[in-house]
Amino acid sequence: MPNKLPAKLNTLQKTLLIIGIILLVTIILVLIQSINTGTPRVLPISDNVQVSGQLYACKLELTTRPESRIPASNNWDTTLKIGFYDTNNTLVDTITAPSDNFGKTTLDLCAAGYKYVGADYTLLIKGYSHLTRKFTNVRPFDYLENSLLFTNPNQYLLAGDTSVVEDDAVNALDVSTQTRQDIIYTNNNKNDLNQDGVVNALDYSITMRNYYKLGESL
């Protein structure tokens, strides 16, 4: 009997100690959670959150197709002069850039310092030895990255404007240029309209087919 009382006290002490430890750990965990996460704020239904802004394109990819190339595919490179006109037909900018064999021209408008917003534009696009084509109601700047295809047959860039006189017309000046002794039967790039590597009758026939044609304008 004399030994039972201390034994009971020890058991009670152990129980209290365990309870104390559990309470202490619980308190510490609650404190840590409240410090780290806090209490999330739930917006009441009456809160009205609005986000607005304008997106404009940084990267614009144009695909154009010069007519009558030999071979007909993967042979569409030229140098493009692209005029951007706003809804008032006011010239915003003119950009000159090469297109690759797939007809693609990639413009980084942000790097160039341009800040266009979403709106309709008219594009006047002229190839290296081609007449100007007009593309209306174009929205090139609605997305951060945008691609425009101008490759339908009625959108082909018409060839034959090769004279140093930049008149955006196919006429006698271009014929006389194309048949010059220092150009005919050479690989002169501007007069090799079909890009088969030589200036000859095939190119001359393209010029004659477009004779008297003019580039499109606003």
Of 120 and 167, the one with the shorter C-beta distance to Ca ion is: 167
Provide the 3-class DSSP secondary structure of residue 123.
Answer: strand
Beta bridge partners of 130: 159
Does 142 help bind Ca ion (rule: CB under 5 A)? no
C-alpha distances in Å from residue 212, one per residue of 40, 67, 103, 134, 158 = 74, 17, 26, 18, 12
User: In the complex with Ca ion, which residue's Cβ is closer, 63 or 163?
Assistant: 163
Residues 160-189 as x/- pattern, contact with Ca ion by CB under 5 A: -x-x---x-x----x---------------
Give the nearest distance from C-beta 138 to Ca ion in angstroms: 26
CA 185 to chain CA mean position, Å: 39
**Tokens linked to 90:** 């006011």
| Shortest separation between residue 50's beta carbon and Ca ion, angstroms | 54
Nearer to Ca ion, 60 or 68 (CB): 68
Q: How many residues does the chain have?
A: 218
The least distance separating Ca ion from the CB of residue 148, rounded to whole angstroms, comes to 27
Q: Does 196 bind Ca ion (CB under 5 A)?
A: yes
Coil, strand or helix at 85: strand
88 DSSP β-pair partners: none
Compute the distance between CA of residue 98 and CA of residue 128 in angstroms, rounded to an integer.
9
Does 67 bind Ca ion (CB under 5 A)? Our answer is no
Rounded least distance, CB 198 to Ca ion, Å: 5
Question: For binding to Ca ion (CB under 5 A), which residues are involved?
Answer: 161, 163, 167, 169, 174, 192, 194, 196, 203
